[in-house]
Amino acid sequence: MKQVCIVGGLRSYIGVENGMYRNVSAEQLGAHVLREVIDRYAIPMEDIDCIIAGNGVGAGGNLTRLMMLEVGIPDEIPAMTVDVQCGSGLEAIATAAAKIESGLADVILAGGFESCSTKPLRIRNERHPDYVREDTEAAKSAQPVTIDPNVYRTAKFAPGRPDELAMLRGAERVAQAWNMDKRRLDRYAMDSHKRAEMAAESGELQEILAAPFSAFPAKDREAVAFEGAGRWKRSLHEAESGTDQYPKRQATRSSGTQDDRDEGIRKRMSEALLDRLPLLVPGGTYITAGNACLTHDGAAFVVLCSKEYLLAHNRNRRAELVDVVAAGSDPARSPESILPAIERLLQRNHLLPEQITAWEYNEAFAVIDALMESRYGSNPRYNIFGGALAYGHPYWASGGILTLHLMQAMNRLECPEGMCEKYGIAAIAAAGGIGTAMLIRSSI
């Protein structure tokens, strides 16, 4: 079995739905990040065996293939799209690792991309069992209320009646079952924003950030194309400046909105503000727009390769991918799925929680922070740069974002006492009750 190495990767700045990327499709945003990953890491086109990415709320089809063609990658390179809901980005990386480990590939770019801003509305076929006839009780009670109760935005995650609020209700059920403290949940959100703000101000994540989408005018972005032997035709700006990367300069889109920042981070998040936010689940007592993340746009990709390829091409690795575990749980309480995934990962690799250098988990809800603390205790190594409550959760891109943040955290944190290698865990709970946890390792 081949050893799987992570060379590095990049993510976009993360935008709030209908914010700075409101006119940018998922495939355009994904192509922008993928293009810069290939450029920055000087990956020869002929060496790329496959591109694997998660996408779920886009227009459908093999959207990763469309995104790849947007970049100008040669037609003969295959691409595949993964959909395990929120866990898709991690599952894309896991699939890439499995192909490399088994010898089916040597170099794969993997991650995810998402645009809530441009996602299509969907409508049920009248022959489908879930189709709602007019003037029925189901039509009258459809949530949220729309002109047509058969128009929906959220997939169906379990048998039974479709529910647009399924994820929110799941978080509410978990909070009730674990007897959580609403004020404590709100404090997790405040802490997340504070850590994210500090990371932004200190430039902790600058190394993994792709240039703003508008760093080049559209005509220059479209000019980037494949030019044989795995090389890129440089834009006019790069040719004149002699640089090998997209310029890290402040830029403004035609809408007038800066896109050189993570749009969801709030500097003035306070307990008073969180107290005023309305509850999102009818009859609920916990979940608000403050302790649940909003909906977002973003993209993230990492470069994975075999150790043989790494040595043959004299490249440096950021980390080694050790193991990935997926675990199912009650779909009606999907946030809990993160726990069995992490537990199996630790057991399978004979590790204790205190031996982990850094943890990155997707805090789509503050209840996940509470679950982690309840099971593994309070830990300053959790999400040290802040989490999804601040940055956001661009669904299928989140696995790639977690992986990139995790590698940065491992680089910054000291190894736990008694350990001669650094281990990091990235974990995510997905809609439908599937948790995914990944273990990576790096030398001290």
Q: Which of 342, 369, 352 is nearest to 416 (CA)?
A: 352
The confidence score (pLDDT) of residue 223 equals 42
Q: Which of 5, 86, 293, 305 is catalytic?
A: 86
Active-site annotation holds for 305: no
Q: What is the pLDDT along the chain (444 residues), one digit of tens a residue?
A: 899 999 999 999 999 999 999 999 999 999 999 999 999 999 999 999 999 999 988 888 899 999 999 998 999 999 999 999 999 999 999 999 999 999 999 999 999 999 999 999 889 999 999 998 875 555 555 555 456 888 888 888 989 888 889 999 999 999 999 999 999 999 999 999 999 999 999 999 999 999 999 765 554 444 433 332 233 333 323 333 444 333 333 333 334 456 789 999 998 888 888 999 999 999 999 999 999 999 999 999 999 999 999 999 999 999 999 999 999 999 999 999 999 999 999 999 999 999 999 999 999 999 999 999 999 999 999 999 999 999 999 999 999 999 999 999 999 999 998 888 999 999 999 999 999 999 999 976
The confidence score (pLDDT) of residue 443 equals 74
The confidence score (pLDDT) of residue 137 equals 57
The confidence score (pLDDT) of residue 145 equals 47
**Which domains, ranges and CATH numbers included, belong to the chain?**
4-119+207-262+295-312 (3.40.47.10), 182-198+323-443 (3.40.47.10)
The confidence score (pLDDT) of residue 141 equals 55
